[in-house]
């Protein structure tokens, strides 16, 4: 629950930084430089998932309520996280003027974190379901979670699970980074730009440098990045 709290705190700070025109990466560097805090689990993003963090937060929350204590902070941790899982879709919808019908989006990363196929409570699920609801299609790749995605969603016309990251980007209206797999961190950006229908990247894990991508002709949206 403590780790979940750190993540939600940084996500809240990222949302504030964005509205103030600040760069959350500079804020993060400043916060982490304090030895009492450090850099672990202070990376903003599109929300946490998995079985442990949500379960632990909710278990303590329920225990507190059973003891007739209102745990305001724990309630806020989960509220912030659920809201954060909506951030990517909200930004995408705004960029495309609420007209996602018929659009195709490439998603890199389906698992809730790297090095697992676990999609329980994964931000990717919230995002894909919102895109489908808006009439968009998804082309997705994850190094290990493809079978799990098939198990959850089965076969559907608006979900295309492809063999590699670049194949996912082919003819997509934008690329969305949802899981910070190492294999996604240094792609061939020139090739990526040529494959995308529009050179737009929504980076839900802040794995790319905004200035570098903008200099290469991409429209880039991070979490709390200016």
Token pair 């705004």 is at which residue? Answer: 94
How far is Cα 8 from Cα 80, in angstroms, rounded to an integer?
A: 6
Whether 87-221 and 2-84 are alike in CATH topology: the answer is yes
Q: What is the pLDDT of residues 192-209, one digit of tens each?
A: 999 999 999 999 999 999
pTM reported for the whole predicted model: 0.95
Average confidence (pLDDT) over 86-98: 98
pLDDT > 70: what percent of the chain?
A: 100
Q: Report the DSSP beta bridge partners of residue 11.
A: none
Which residues have CB under 8 Å from 17's CB, separation 6+? 23, 24, 27, 224, 226
Task: Output the average pLDDT for the chain.
Answer: 97
Between CA 33 and CA 11 the distance in angstroms is 18
Decide if pLDDT at 108 tops 80: yes
Specify the pairing of strand 174-177 against strand 104-108. Answer: parallel
- Check: CB of residue 53 under 8 Å from CB of residue 5: no
- DSSP notation for 17-76: HHHHT--HHHHHHHHHTSTTT-STT----S---SSHHHHHHHHHHHHHHHTT---HHHHH
- Residue ranges of the domains in the chain? 2-84, 87-221
Which pair of tokens denotes residue 151? 């198990």
Compute the average pLDDT of residues 26-37.
Answer: 96
Indicate the DSSP class of residue 183: G
pLDDT tens by residue, 139-174: 999 999 999 999 999 999 999 999 999 999 999 999
Is domain 87-221 annotated with CATH 3.40.50.720? yes
**What Cα–Cα distance (Å) separates residue 176 from each residue in 55, 90, 147, 160, 220?**
27, 13, 20, 15, 10
Token pair recorded at residue 191: 């090739």
Tell me, what DSSP letter sits at residue 15?
H
Cα Rg of the chain (Å, integer): 18
- The mean pLDDT value for 73-95 works out to 97
CA distance 163 to 176: 17
Q: Are strands 137-141 and 104-108 parallel, antiparallel or unpaired?
A: parallel
Q: What is the pLDDT of residue 61?
A: 94
Catalytic center residues: 52
Determine the angle formed by the axes of helices 52-66 and 72-84, rounding to 10 degrees. Answer: 150
Instruction: Quote the pLDDT of residue 226.
Output: 73
pLDDT band at 41 (very low <50, low <70, confident <90, very high): very high
What is the CATH architecture assignment of 2-84?
A: 3-Layer(aba) Sandwich (3.40)
């Amino acid at each position: 629950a403590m780790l979940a709290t750190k993540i939600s705190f940084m996500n809240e700070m990222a949302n504030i930084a964005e509205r103030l025109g600040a760069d959350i990466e500079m804020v993060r560097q400043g916060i982490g430089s304090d030895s009492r805090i450090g850099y672990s689990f202070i990376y903003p993003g599109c929300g946490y998932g998995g079985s442990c963090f949500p379960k632990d937060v909710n278990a303590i929350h329920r225990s507190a309520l059973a003891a007739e204590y209102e745990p305001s902070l724990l309630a806020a941790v989960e509220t912030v996280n659920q809201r954060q899982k909506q951030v990517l879709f909200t930004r995408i919808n705004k960029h495309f003027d609420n007209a996602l019908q018929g659009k195709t989006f490439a998603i890199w990363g389906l698992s809730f974190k790297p090095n697992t196929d676990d999609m329980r409570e994964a931000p990717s699920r919230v995002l894909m379901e919102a895109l489908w609801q808006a009439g968009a299609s998804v082309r997705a790749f994850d190094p290990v979670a493809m079978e799990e995605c098939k198990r959850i969603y089965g076969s559907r016309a608006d979900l295309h699970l492809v063999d590699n990251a670049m194949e996912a980007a082919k003819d997509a209206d934008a690329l969305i980074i949802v899981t910070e797999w190492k294999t996604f961190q240094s792609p061939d950006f020139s090739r990526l730009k040529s494959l995308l229908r529009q050179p737009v990247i929504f980076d839900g894990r802040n794995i790319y440098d905004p200035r570098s991508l903008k200099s290469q002709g991409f429209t880039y949206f991070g979490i709390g990045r200016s």
